[in-house]
Amino acid sequence: MSVIVTDTGFGSEDWSHEFHSVEALGQEVGAPAFALDLASDTDPAALEGRLDGVDLIRVDFPSSADGRGFTIARALRRMGFAGRLRAKGHVIADQYAMARRCGFDEVEIDDALAARQPEPQWLFRADWQAHDYQSRLRG
């Protein structure tokens, strides 16, 4: 099982459709909802102009030390992707604010990580907009 982390805390999976690889883009004509699974080494530029009809993108984090997913999220948002963007895998509570600032809407973690880093640790970082250095500089 997995836990979905948002600014309001832990929740359960609410996506009931399949996740597809990048190769499936354009093949699922008429699908009621379409979600992509992206590996951490995906080149976001290859998705330019191909994201119409994509409702959710899930970006893999194979390690908490691998920050490529943050770059992918930022690039997707700059391309205009307005759907749900989810980080999946080895994202730790300390990285939650960074994930949100990069454009992720939510984080998917496994039950083992949720047990090691319970909900209060994630909620502590949920006020991610108020504590960034740019806000302090502008204030």
What would the mean pLDDT of 66-82 be, rounded to a whole number?
Answer: 95
Residue 33 is predicted with a pLDDT of 82
pLDDT in tens, 105-122: 999 999 999 999 999 999
Helical spans, DSSP H, in the chain: 68-78, 96-102, 111-116, 119-123, 133-138
CATH number for the domain running over 2-138: 3.20.20.70
Q: What are phi and psi of 111, to 5 degrees?
A: -60, -35
Answer left, alpha or beta for residue 37, where phi above 0 means left and psi between -120 and 50 means alpha.
beta
Q: Between the CA of residue 117 and those of 1, 70, 97, 121, what are the distances in Å? A: 16, 21, 15, 6
pLDDT in tens, 26-50: 766 556 789 999 999 999 999 998 8
Residue 107 is predicted with a pLDDT of 98
